[in-house]
Structure 1
Amino acid sequence: MNTSNKELLVNYIVACTNLYGVTPFDHVQRVYNEQNEDQISLENLTSYVTSTGIKKLLEERFVFVQSSEFVSEAVGVPKEKQMFKEVVAGKPYYVPDQAELLRFVDEQYIQHTPQQKSLKNMLRDDFGESYPIDEEVKGLVYRLQVSGGDFSTVLSMFLDDLQLPIQRAERYIPVIIEIAETTRMWELGGHTQKELQA
């Protein structure tokens, strides 16, 4: 495998881990092989990613090699990882085309939706331009993505941070529910709730 293919493989590993939270080696291998002419065997992938230099490179990008899986730093301790795997078990993986998948190399990448734009408009109306609207919405989407299905905690934290009277804060709930339904979730194999309900 040449250097550019090795870099591409690392990007696939990071992107898949950012999209799914925990990704088996064989899933990354399958996706990589489906989207690239240059093929890699599971044996070669395993040998490559268990070398000290590549493990260190992945860790610098918040991806950890554990057994035969790539695990995001955000998944946390083994107990959390096991609970996460139980929630994800049996769900199909969302596999976007190569260009979309590789956008997930950026750990802060989110797909923008009309629902997020609605929330931004509401925040702008309530707080003006000086409020860090983009950061707040991006943070909400990230917390939803990695929450493991704990929607009520994410919702409560977001509303508490707004520090609005209850009636004004409650106006945000339907929009946040819509955002949750259109956000790529780790516990849904990278799918959105709407995709799995369709």
Structure 2
Amino acid sequence: MRVLIDDVKAFVYLYGRVPKATLVEVLNQVAERSMDERDLEKSVAVAELKNYGIKIVDSVYVSESFLSLNYSEEELQEKERQPYYIPSKSELENYEFPQYVEPTPASSDLYFFLLPRYLRRKKAWKITKGIQHYCRSSKGIDHLPSLFQRKKLKITHEEYPEFKSLIENVINQSRMYELNGHTPLELDWGIKLTLSENC
């Protein structure tokens, strides 16, 4: 049987921020539990959550990585209007780890595009995962050019259209904080990327 705190961690890492009432609802739905908010409070200690980079702010469970993005009140309200993605039990286990990003066809395509540019497969894979991690939020997407510079990624003028298209595909297949774990494609949001050729 899964431990409750593992499910709490997984949902908070997936959503970035989730009200307590919603968290109880999705926990009950996925694990076929029957608990209320008080049961959750009694079962999962605040101190234990802090060890995993999770805080409770005004009855809302928030990951530290989400807090660091400094969303405005308006952005948070827009997030709350989005439906919540409910993973299967087996899929939920993956999200227990804050750095987890779901493998997608788009991330695989990007990896094979990057592979010839690096001597080691591991480096190409790490950069692919790094790009995916940035794509978990629109604010992270804004910082992709700085990631490319740090990783000394060189894209020629001829390669640029393909590269831009690959990044857009990764974005549109990424589970995003703003969309409560949904991908832009799942909610019919096509995100287009503004990216300089001098990335």
Tell me the TM-score normalised to structure 1 length: 0.83
1:193 to 2:188 alignment: no
1:157 pairs, out of 133, 146, 150, with: 146
Percent identity, aligned pairs only? 22
The answer to whether the 8 Å contact 1:75/1:81 transfers is no
The answer to whether the 8 Å contact 1:22/1:69 transfers is yes
| CA distance, structure 1, for counterparts of residue 67 and residue 78 of structure 2 | 15
Matched length: 187
RMSD: 2.4
Q: Which segments of 5 or more consecutive residues in structure 1 lack a partner in the other structure?
A: none
2:91 pairs, out of 100, 104, 122, with: 100
State the 4+ residue runs in structure 1 displaced beyond 4 angstroms. Answer: none
1:33 pairs, out of 11, 17, 28, with: 28
| CA distance, structure 1, for counterparts of residue 146 and residue 154 of structure 2 | 12
Aligned position for 1:19: 14
Tell me the TM-score normalised to structure 2 length: 0.82
What pairs with 1:1-198 in structure 2 (closer than 5 Å)? 8-49=3-44, 54-76=45-67, 80=71, 82-129=73-120, 132-148=123-139, 151=141, 153-160=142-149, 161-164=151-154, 166-167=156-157, 170=160, 171-197=162-188
The answer to whether the 8 Å contact 2:104/2:173 transfers is yes
Q: 1:95 to 1:78 in 2, by over 3 A?
A: same
The answer to whether the 8 Å contact 2:12/2:61 transfers is yes
Q: Which segments of 5 or more consecutive residues in structure 2 lack a partner in the other structure?
A: 190-199
Larger relative helix fraction: 1
Deviation of residue 190 (structure 1)? 0.5
